[in-house]
Amino acid sequence: MERERIAPYIGAVGCLVLAVVLSAPYFAITTQTQLLGDYYSAGPLGVIGAIFLATLGVVIFLSSVRGRADPELVAGIMLVVGVAIFGITALWAVSIDSVVLFSFPSNASWIEYHRWVSLAVSGVVAAAAGIYAAAVY
């Protein structure tokens, strides 16, 4: 019963943190707008879809906690969405061209690690969705 109660909160917080982490370069780097566009659209899908799904994930996770939706339905939806978020983020993280990655100004050198932090946080979202689905079913 404890996992069923805690997992949606962890998932919602993970989704919120992921949306903030993935959006950080957009707000922190004010120059090099074309380079930011190339960074976010790297790979076949880019990462914008993961930001959208993470934002949506907050609402979906909390809908079962608030009693607005069936917990089994929410667990199933978030399992699919969590795996999709992780897949999109992983595909994006390994597809970023090193030329794009190392073309940012020196004061934005943290961007070299940004993709791996994003991937780790998306893994937390997928794990929370899996734990919630296992607890509910």
Q: Look at residue 93 in the predicted model and tell me its pLDDT.
A: 97
Output the CA–CA distances (angstroms, integers) from residue 80 to 94, 106, 112, 121, in the order listed.
21, 38, 29, 16
**pTM: predicted TM-score of the whole model, two decimal places:** 0.94
Q: Residue 31: left (phi > 0), alpha (psi -120 to 50), or beta?
A: beta
Q: Look at residue 16 in the predicted model and tell me its pLDDT.
A: 98
Q: Look at residue 1 in the predicted model and tell me its pLDDT.
A: 63
Q: Look at residue 123 in the predicted model and tell me its pLDDT.
A: 98
Q: What is the mean pLDDT of the chain?
A: 95
Q: Look at residue 84 in the predicted model and tell me its pLDDT.
A: 98
Provide the domain limits for residue 68.
2-136
Q: Look at residue 68 in the predicted model and tell me its pLDDT.
A: 87
Q: pLDDT tens-digit profile of 16-67?
A: 999 999 999 999 998 888 999 999 999 999 999 999 999 999 999 999 988 8
- What is the total count of domains within the chain? 1
At residue 17's C-alpha, the angle toward residues 11 and 19, to 5°, is 105
| Other beta carbons less than 10 A from residue 44's beta carbon | 9
